[in-house]
Structure 1
Amino acid sequence: MSSTPQATAAPAATAAPATVRAPATVAPGSAAAASGSGRERLPIELCKGINGLDKIVLREVRGSSAEVYLYGGHVTSWKNDHGEELLFLSSKAIFKPPKAIRGGIPICFPQFSNHGSLEQHGFARNRIWSIDNDPPPFPTSTSAKAFVDLILKPTEEDLKIWPHSFEFRLRISLSPAGDLMLTSRIRNTNADGKPFTFTFAYHTYFSVSDISEVRVEGLETLDYLDNLQNKERFTEQGDAITFEAEVDKIYLGTPTKIAILDHEKKRTFVLRKDGLPDAVVWNPWEKKAKAMADFGDEEYKHMLCVEAAAVEKPITLKPGEEWRGRQELSAVPSSYCSGQLDPRRVLLGS
């Protein structure tokens, strides 16, 4: 994947939300297929979620799973093969359009943050996506059988607030090892010859045991913009990022791999990314948590957002050009030395 726009001439795919072909066709509500004398669970299931919203469940044979709501193209759950939830979802999350779902992995497009007439973090996270039954080939190195392709196109109302035609294709896949991958492809389909510019983030909420027991490695010595200080630019001084108060920072020119270490759970999340040069680190802490209606007062202790993003330098696409951005998440047991994870093993290992 690359952040460099690539012009191609593939025709637009037709979005049809009736069936899932990823890779097998699954009728809505179908949970299993007959197999011999028993019933075998299919890797993809389209069913109803909270408040009757359509969701897709992805399963791998070893037991890992993920849930994706068509509302927002939003991953709300990612579980390992022991059934442990790896993403944070607020107990007060509101599954009712147009309110975005609090937790999981919201998609921030066509903007991250809040600028001009667009709502905060753009509108992709609170639109109904369609299942893309005829997507162009997705470059992929995974052997995942559990994946789904989604597509978002602007509505007439969207064009009034952001007057650009686009196709946003999103593939969400679960590998046999339980890794979760999101691959985005955004194409400028303007017929008037005009380019457009956007910023982007996978607003990933990780589930952690206790925020005071968490450290982030891979962002040391980097410059960041501090959203709590009017986006003033600073340089990270610590040997790792730890948390004792509210944090809202955009790290610039970040590596392709970042580690989130949970000391208490002896678990490390490894975030790998392509086409997304920045990384946002956010925890609202106590005061801001209490001010959010869709967030529990004490829930800040059990979540951390580390977001693969393209924020500092907006992406510009000419008509026909396409941008690609990928995020892959894995959760591995931690190996500790003197109470801290050996960063060489996590950040340099495969």
Structure 2
Amino acid sequence: MSLNITQESDGSPRIILSEPTGSTAEVLLYGGQVVSWKNERREELLFMGSKAIRKPPKAIRGGIPICFPQFANFGSLEHHGFARNRLWSLDSSPSPLPPANQQSSVDLILKSTEDDLKSWPHRFELRLRISLSAGKLTLIPRVRNTDNKAFSFTFALRNYLSVSDISEVRIEGLETLDYFDNLLHRERYTEQADAITFDGEIDRVYLSTPTKIAIIDHEKKRTYVMRKEGMRDAVVWNPWDKKAKALSDLSDEDYKTMLCVDSAAVETPIGLKPFEEWKGRQELSAVSSSYFSGQLDPRKVLLGIS
């Protein structure tokens, strides 16, 4: 297990996590953002926009941005909040989390600044532990209210997953659930399909979701398994061709090889009393998928059966 701190071409700090089987993760202090996660075969598991801008004040399109203190654009703050385009610091005292002795990990912290207080008048500490082990990437976010008054926030870990072809991907675990459709004025619907598949733009917030969701890439014979705690919702997003052309940090074809499935707390904001702390957890793993009669058995994935 190792942690190596280097610099981006613009001089900003970059942290490389690695573990004995050969998998790696790259983390930038800018945004506290994971920008790369490669498996033991050096295959990239996270999507990064081919036109992504990796310098302030632009948020980076790809990897795993941190959306705090708001998700989407429902308040007066910038889209998805400000945590993803602030410079974080290494956290020297991540207590009370136990030491991550058996994993390659890094602890980061973002504290409110006087500038932040002008737009969002609440003092906070946002901590993030990023841990890498064989086939698995774990993020543990924590928010502490360091103010003398209560506040609430929404939150998401926006996971840009690398897929072979969006039309060959399906999501299991969200069937029968209610969702808000952001393409239809946030109207509430109930998912009718047996699995979520893709043939056009999608932007939905699924509500009261299970702790485990499977994203199945038929062409790569790979399944991403997302386990989450403390974040009840899951956001599914792909811009498709028309929206991709309107986004300056995506190329016209990028939408075909990306899918966002986010761990989120959107419907019900998280409330914290003075000096109270919230903790979430997300574990992403990538496993080989086996076929039976040309189909995967996602129930085994969701039940944890190998």
Does the alignment pair 1:81 with 2:40?
A: yes
Distance 1:274 1:326 in 2: 5
Q: 1:302 to 1:50 in 2, by over 3 A?
A: farther
Deviations 1:190-232 (A, max 9, x none): 0xx3100100000000000000000000000000000000110
2:105/2:132 contact within 8 Å kept: yes
Partner of 1:172: 130
Distance 2:242 2:146 in 1: 43
Using the size of structure 2 for normalisation, the TM-score is 0.97
Using the size of structure 1 for normalisation, the TM-score is 0.85
2:200 corresponds, among 239, 242, 245, to 245
Does the alignment pair 1:183 with 2:140?
A: yes
Quote the offset at 1:79 in angstroms: 0.4
Distance 2:101 2:179 in 1: 36
2:23/2:41 contact within 8 Å kept: yes
Quote the offset at 1:117 in angstroms: 1.9
1:144/1:173 contact within 8 Å kept: no
Q: 1:178 to 1:272 in 2, by over 3 A?
A: same
Does the alignment pair 1:277 with 2:232?
A: yes
Q: Name the SS for the 1:339 alignment partner.
A: coil
1:312 corresponds, among 242, 252, 267, to 267
Matching residue's letter, 1:153:
K
Partner of 2:176: 221
1:65/1:178 contact within 8 Å kept: no
Distance 1:145 1:329 in 2: 15
2:92 corresponds, among 112, 122, 133, to 133
Quote the offset at 1:138 in angstroms: 1.3
1:116 corresponds, among 66, 75, 79, to 75
1:64/1:81 contact within 8 Å kept: yes
Moved over 3 A (4+): none
Q: 1:179 to 1:144 in 2, by over 3 A?
A: farther
Identity %: 68
Partner of 2:113: 155
Unaligned runs of 5+ in 1: 1-41
1:60/1:178 contact within 8 Å kept: no
Partner of 1:48: 7
Deviations 1:48-79 (A, max 9, x none): 12422211000001100000000000000000
Quote the offset at 1:317 in angstroms: 0.3
Q: 1:143 to 1:331 in 2, by over 3 A?
A: farther
1:50/1:95 contact within 8 Å kept: no
Q: Name the SS for the 2:74 alignment partner.
A: coil
What does 1:197-216 correspond to in 2, within 5 Å? 197-216=152-171
Q: Name the SS for the 2:197 alignment partner.
A: coil
Q: Name the SS for the 2:78 alignment partner.
A: coil
Quote the offset at 1:143 in angstroms: 5.9
Does the alignment pair 1:286 with 2:241?
A: yes
Matching residue's letter, 2:120:
W
Partner of 2:20: 61
Q: 1:230 to 1:202 in 2, by over 3 A?
A: same
Distance 1:112 1:339 in 2: 38
**Number of equivalenced pairs:** 305
Distance 2:102 2:66 in 1: 22
Unaligned runs of 5+ in 2: none
Q: Name the SS for the 1:67 alignment partner.
A: strand
Does the alignment pair 1:90 with 2:67?
A: no
Distance 2:65 2:112 in 1: 18
Moved more, 274-283 or 109-118: 109-118
Distance 2:160 2:214 in 1: 14
Distance 1:229 1:279 in 2: 17
Distance 2:120 2:267 in 1: 20
2:135/2:287 contact within 8 Å kept: no
Quote the offset at 1:336 in angstroms: 1.7
Quote the offset at 1:84 in angstroms: 0.3
Does the alignment pair 1:333 with 2:288?
A: yes
Distance 1:230 1:138 in 2: 40
